[in-house]
Structure 1
Amino acid sequence: MTTTEQTHLVTALEVRIEQTRRRLARLRDEGLVDRVTLPQAGWTRAWFATQCGAQAAAQWPELALCQPSWLMRDRTAARL
């Protein structure tokens, strides 16, 4: 899981954070990631890979050695 801000810092520091938000929203529309809102953290959004997203990423050669041992199944589990 990662926040919007963390994703921005790691992947796209050279652009405005709005672009990172749009990219994450597009990935969500495609079913590759989902998000939960954490009210106890100032309504921060935390993003996580869906099963479809994890399967797609697992095919990348760069991630061949980084297979997750578990995966978030739904938004409620992610929030907890």
Structure 2
Amino acid sequence: MPRHGSLSLIQTLVKADLVDEFRLLVFPVVLGTGKRLFGDIVPTGLKLVDSKATSTGVMLQTYETTGRPAFATVPPLE
């Protein structure tokens, strides 16, 4: 069965700044264990450019990279 992605390949490409777009399929299940997809990679900003839902609830999402994210602090709620 062909694979469309690999955790180590994704992490290597993101670290080398060679990724322009992510296409994610999000399935409506919670398994509770496993490796984190974006666990040890360089923080990367993403912009949602397309999103569709299938009849079974699977979300097809396309994100473009926007470079390194800018972090900000959020004041506490009163």
TM-score, normalised with respect to structure 2: 0.25
Hey, which of these two has a bigger chunk of helix by percent?
1
TM-score, normalised with respect to structure 1: 0.25
- Greater relative CO, 1 or 2 (CA 8 Å, sep 6+): 2
- Higher Cα radius of gyration: 2
Hey, which of these two has a bigger chunk of strand by percent?
2
